[in-house]
Structure 1
């Protein structure tokens, strides 16, 4: 058994290795962002405009918030397939609460707490049931979606509280929607958690080697539960902001978040094997996915073709990261 005092040294060594890999691989997603900006600017006249910048940041806000929590789950070598369903269920419940009570923005902590409770349920089943996270969250995806659709009765429900939409579409900073501002603030907080707290260090340790982390004295089971609870909490926050932006909660709310969130996390450089990447890189992945969606829409590409493109991007990102990992091992 490794002494408790050695945990910080192990974490520091692990972080140094991770930061080296981060710096070595950061150029590729940044290059993709630059290439997309150049390509879509030349392909369409309306891409490189302030109005479109506002549209992109507004669309990316919910995705970034949801991805931040899910990144920690992926970072420890697990997966959360239920984030879209949590957004749907929290959004549906929040609209009902909002219309029944008229509490306005105070529904935000309620949505966050509900999302955290759903994520906590995932984490408890995963950690204590010793069931693969893929299976647990696949099952909860179906459960949460079914409950939400029963609440909505298969139709969209609009909120009736005047001015509530301002928490998402208002602009405290000109040309930057509040939902994007909230997302950037959440990103800064989460990056601090990943870089400067025990929770963040333990996520990297668990992803780098669960048995090693357990031997070093890390309470692996407890931190797995924390990660899923945080993922649910941020999905809940993203849900209420998405409802405020759209003006309603409908059956399609959060439908595209499963593919887009995993795509953004992987494209940003967080390995599905765990231990490499982090929320600091997820921002770049979200930018890539948001610009792809926006640029392809401006070019008139169909939604089905866009799904094909994003699938190819995800597979390519995984192949590139795998080849980089193999190269480093050979070296």
Structure 2
């Protein structure tokens, strides 16, 4: 007769096995929304599921993704940046002016990124040193930045004169995939790495999860809050430069849709407005939802006003279903 030891160690699961419990179930709904929207618009309109439209959607989503990545870290630490669209507008206005009045050429890209970083620094300093809610701080700078940009543009669109500059956005190193989409994917990969593998990323989660605990742990909270806003400004400015290259000009409407779309993409993807939950890996899903929704509704001929209703409903539903239930009582 064979005996079995009473305290025998449990059989180890093979390394290649898949544990369904390890899957982040909060991602199921936003991913499902992407699949549903793609299937719905493919049936509803013949021009949606085409290579030409894929190129258009990827170009539109590229600008939105880059602009959202920095803002994701701001939301992740429990704050909010309402000035993303205004930073895009001002950085675009300054960028096209530099292109037309200086010999910088393609070096305007790092120059615009620096400008965006300075604008983000202004946001961060006002927020931390002034000790006022980030919502109010960035609402104020939204007005200031927009006013300066509209003064520079004088209420009109300004085209750039540099030949070939548009290729950084609309050129296609990979057929049917515009370069702006490649830049956005590269920025997304870097942001995901920063969020998951760097001290800055860890501190964003800790600050968002509990600012008091983060201070007790010795984290320089104010400094890292400023870093987050600077990063948001830099990425918004890079998105502005690529958007100007894609459109061929900077005009008063540049970045006007980002106030809603950027925040919507972040929260629809699953980054909690309470902070501490989410990350840039989720923002890509949110951007896809917003980009597909905008594109599909336009192809169906839905009016702009009706689109606002549909988009608002989708945002609310996505947030309600995909939010972290363990933090349901925490609203900042």
Q: Assess same fold via TM > 0.5.
A: yes
Q: Assess, with a 3 A threshold, how the Cα gap between structure 1 residues 327 and 21 changes in structure 2: closer, same or farther.
A: farther
Q: Contact (CA 8 Å) 1:79, 1:134: kept in 2 or not? A: yes
Give how far 1:103 is off. Answer: 2.7
Which residue in 1 is equivalent to 2:71?
70
**Greater helix percent: which structure?**
1
Give how far 1:163 is off. Answer: 1.2
**Pairing of 1:177-192 with structure 2 (within 5 A):** 177-192=178-193
Counterpart check, 1:207 vs 2:199: no
Q: Assess, with a 3 A threshold, how the Cα gap between structure 1 residues 196 and 104 changes in structure 2: closer, same or farther.
A: same
Number of matched pairs: 310
Q: Distance in 2 between matches of 1:22 and 1:151?
A: 49
Give how far 1:328 is off. Answer: 11
Q: Distance in 2 between matches of 1:72 and 1:22?
A: 23
Q: Distance in 2 between matches of 1:327 and 1:23?
A: 17
Q: Assess, with a 3 A threshold, how the Cα gap between structure 1 residues 22 and 252 changes in structure 2: closer, same or farther.
A: farther
**Pairing of 1:208-247 with structure 2 (within 5 A):** 208-247=209-248
Of 20-29 and 320-329, more deviation after overlay is shown by 320-329
Q: Which runs of 5+ in 2 are unaligned?
A: 1-20
Deviation track 1:230-273 (CA, whole Å, cap 9, x = no partner) reads 00000000000000000000000000001000110010000000
Say which one has the larger Rg: 2
Deviation track 1:246-304 (CA, whole Å, cap 9, x = no partner) reads 00000000000010001100100000000000000000000000000010011001111
Q: Assess, with a 3 A threshold, how the Cα gap between structure 1 residues 188 and 177 changes in structure 2: closer, same or farther.
A: same
**Pairing of 1:1-331 with structure 2 (within 5 A):** 23-322=24-323, 324-325=325-326
Q: Assess, with a 3 A threshold, how the Cα gap between structure 1 residues 22 and 130 changes in structure 2: closer, same or farther.
A: farther
TM-score (norm 2): 0.91
Q: Contact (CA 8 Å) 1:271, 1:321: kept in 2 or not? A: no
Q: Distance in 2 between matches of 1:37 and 1:324?
A: 28
Give how far 1:306 is off. Answer: 1.0
How well do the aligned residues superpose, as a CA RMSD in angstroms? 1.6
